[in-house]
Amino acid sequence: MRKFFVFIFLLLILPAVYGLADFFVEDFSPKYVEPGKYYNLTIFLRNLGKEYAIYLSSELDPEDISPVDPIGAVRIHLNKASAAQETEFFGILRQNEEISLVYPIKIKQNIPEGVYSVPIVLKWKDHEFADHITTQKINIDVQKMGRQLNIYKYLPDYIEIGKEAKVWLKFENSGIDLKNVHVFINTTSPIGILSSNNFEIKKIKSGEAFNLSLDVIADLKADPGIYPVLVLVEYETLYGEKRNLTEVLWINLKGKADINVADLKLEPFEIKEDEQLTIYVKVENSGTSDANSVSVSLELPFDGLKVAHLGLIPVKDDALAIFILKPNKSGRYKGKIKIDYKDDLGFNSKIEPISLTVYPKNKNNKPVFPILVLLLIFIIAAIVLKVRR
């Protein structure tokens, strides 16, 4: 009963969301194993969906179709804070959070060498306590001792859309000598390789390693997200045995919003003191990412509400901020338009200048100068008539 009330409380404080949780295996270790050996299999799982998941559980190869045998429980229930490592709410995996699953395993003894797909069955409930299930897979390379070519990857945390970055790969031979090593980098849109994507190494001796540096670029029209780059390797042992392995580089692309003032309109055009003034500020997003939590504020010494909260502005979209003010003193004023927003890279602020002239309000609606002229004419006429008499 206590758990039930805790979950109700947590659900109340979590934000309203729409969609489903979507799980993604970011990485796992080890990738290369030997028949008959024992390991701790660590799987890094991230929720990339639009909703949090509760009562999450995982099962490793429940139908025993792979060479991986879990030692002990096949299922892991993530219902404790210690299990959901980076999640402050126990039993809940929120959007974009990551946890690690650890299984003690043994590799079957008499299994042929090769790459095997190992299923991980994930079960959870959504915010309405509806059940969901999905299966993720990891590829484990089973190799006999003395024939291992390991790949180590060094990736940037993210690449900004439209920008270039470097990716480093290290190939290390921990087994017998290898020859005719062919490396092919297979990219999919929107990630391109500026440098060569085809490499050949005649020979890698036991204990040696070689490094590759790749110049990659993210397409300016790409959507933010995580995209795969395949590293395909073919090689031979000194005994003529041909082998191959595959590594996946997951590249995280992030966009940058760019919010600017697109139009400014005053109503009325001629501003007078003690009269209502409406300022329309149109802002647009010309960047490569949606802008969230957008707010526009005015720095002017006028009465009125000077902050407008616009919320989300998608890429190539705009929004209108409306300010109703009342200047109480004539004069020339220099102020600022401040724009605050958040994108994939964090919080941003921009400031645009604004200049306004407030004219004095004429309290007498009748024109003063023409009246004075008429009065003067009347006085002169009266004097002329008096002289003539």
**Closest Cα to residue 45, out of 32, 30, 57?**
57
> What distance in Å separates the CA atoms of residue 198 and residue 244, rounded to the nearest whole number?
15
- The answer to whether domain 148-254 and domain 259-359 are alike in fold is yes
Question: Tokens in use for 201?
Answer: 């190494």
On whether the 259-359 domain is CATH 2.60.40.10, my answer is yes
Architecture (CATH level 2) of domain 1-145: Sandwich (2.60)
User: How would you write the pLDDT of the chain (389 residues) with one tens digit per residue?
Assistant: 444 444 444 444 444 444 588 888 988 988 878 888 899 999 998 888 888 888 888 889 888 899 999 887 666 766 443 444 444 444 678 888 888 888 999 999 888 878 899 999 999 888 888 999 999 999 988 877 655 788 889 999 899 999 999 999 999 988 778 889 999 998 777 898 888 889 998 998 888 998 999 999 999 888 888 898 999 999 987 767 788 888 888 899 999 999 999 999 999 988 998 899 999 999 999 999 899 999 999 999 999 989 999 999 999 999 999 999 999 889 999 999 999 999 988 999 999 999 999 999 874 444 555 666 677 777 777 776 666 65
Instruction: Please tell me whether residue 147 adopts helix, strand or coil conformation.
Output: coil
Task: Report the pLDDT value the prediction gives residue 146, as an integer from 0 to 100.
Answer: 55
Asked if 222 and 251 touch (Cβ cutoff 8 Å), the reply is no
Question: Does pTM surpass 0.95?
Answer: no
Measured torsion, CA atoms of residues 195, 198, 203, 207, in degrees rounded to the nearest 10: 60
Q: Where along the chain do its domains lie?
A: 1-145, 148-254, 259-359
Chain CA centroid to CA 322, Å: 29
Task: Report the pLDDT value the prediction gives residue 206, as an integer from 0 to 100.
Answer: 82
Task: Report the pLDDT value the prediction gives residue 186, as an integer from 0 to 100.
Answer: 87
Question: For the domain bounded by 148-254, which CATH number is listed?
Answer: 2.60.40.10
